[in-house]
Amino acid sequence: MALINESHPEEFILLGFDDRPWLELPLFVILLITYPMAMMGNIAIILVSKLDPSLHSPMYFFLTNLSFLDMCYTTSIVPQMLFNLGSSKKTISYVGCAVQLFLFSTMGSTECLLLALMAVDRYVAICRPLHYTLIMNQHICILLVSIMWISGITYGVFEVTLTLQLPLCGINKLDHLFCEIPVLIKTACGEKEANEFTLSLVCSFLIAVPLCLILVSYVSIGHAISKIKSSEGRKKAFGTCSSHLIVVFLFYGPGISTYIQSPSSISRDQPKFMALFYGVMIPTINPFIYTLRNKDVKGALNKLMMGIFRC
């Protein structure tokens, strides 16, 4: 609250697609369909991972955290977007904007780290199978996830504090669908090159280090899979990794194009479409990627549904 002064407005007007008003109704309908799908899909993943004893392993412990992250990620932006798209008053308070910035940044950065942890888990499972239970024991998994969450929260606090200190000179219009750090930096007046450089530097580090860890893990995994003589064994090993690789590609691609570039150089509509993709679409399709390509999860879901129908 101390950051609120005369240079910051009490509320922001989210312009969204003001130059294309015909997009608002289709977007409202899409969000109204995808948001419940994202919530139900991720809740189902969490339930089967907790209730089915066969899924009590590090892989599904990390998958449960991913589902929880995706729920928080999409919930931090979609309800506000639905409210604004469904009404003529397209505003968000300054405090609400700050909270949204923090949640979205924290969840995004934490997911970057979690995807790297999941790649390391797959590496240990395939390349060090005899030592897997010893290396990835319950205490280590909880410790890794705790460090991940603390790191994500620390990043969120740092970036939001840095961004909210920028003078807005009374400007209260954001050319976006919700509050996002690159958009606020682009809107700020005065000297902001240092903030743009810091954002690009920190995001580059946050994206590059986990991505390099993922690439190194999968190079080693690919080498280990090529040595498996059984075609069934190779197929099973590849099947456990392919879902994660798809999620990594879908998440990191839009994130790199949005956060590593200088906010001033980004076109007007690019952040909107990219944010919809990694903030709404990816949390919606992640549960389907993991269930459709994973026999264990599909079997656990079938057992859960049969139990519900019997009751």
* Residue 304, pLDDT above cutoff 50: yes
What would the mean pLDDT of 26-44 be, rounded to a whole number? 90
- Residue pair 180/275 in contact by the 8 Å Cβ criterion: yes
Radius of gyration of the chain (CA): 21
Say which residue, 255 or 138, is predicted with more confidence. Answer: 138
Mean pLDDT taken over the chain: 81
User: Cα(225)–Cα(217) distance, rounded to whole angstroms?
Assistant: 12
Question: What's the pLDDT at 1?
Answer: 39
HSE toward the beta carbon, residue 299, CA cutoff 13 A:
7
Q: What is the per-residue pLDDT across 87-139, written as a single tens digit (0 to 9) for each? A: 777 888 888 888 998 998 899 889 889 999 999 998 898 888 888 888 888 89
Kindly report which listed range (1-10, 123-132, 297-306) carries the lowest average pLDDT score.
1-10
91-93: strand order across its sheet: 91-93, 11-14, 173-174
For residue 205, CA distances in Å to 153, 218, 236 come to: 16, 20, 33
Question: What's the pLDDT at 5?
Answer: 45
Bridge-based pairing of strands 11-14 and 173-174 is: parallel
* Residue 144, pLDDT above cutoff 90: yes
Kindly report which listed range (47-61, 239-253, 255-269, 289-303) carries the lowest average pLDDT score.
255-269
Q: Which domains occur in the chain, in start order?
A: 11-310 (1.20.1070.10)
* Residue 260, pLDDT above cutoff 80: no
**In the chain, pLDDT over 70 holds for what percent of residues?**
85
User: Cα(249)–Cα(9) distance, rounded to whole angstroms?
Assistant: 38
For residue 177, CA distances in Å to 108, 238, 287 come to: 17, 38, 25
Say which residue, 172 or 157, is predicted with more confidence. Answer: 157
Q: What is the per-residue pLDDT across 194-233, written as a single tens digit (0 to 9) for each? A: 777 777 777 777 888 888 899 898 888 888 887 777 777 6
Question: What's the pLDDT at 2?
Answer: 41
Question: What's the pLDDT at 311?
Answer: 64
Question: What's the pLDDT at 307?
Answer: 67
* Residue 190, pLDDT above cutoff 70: no
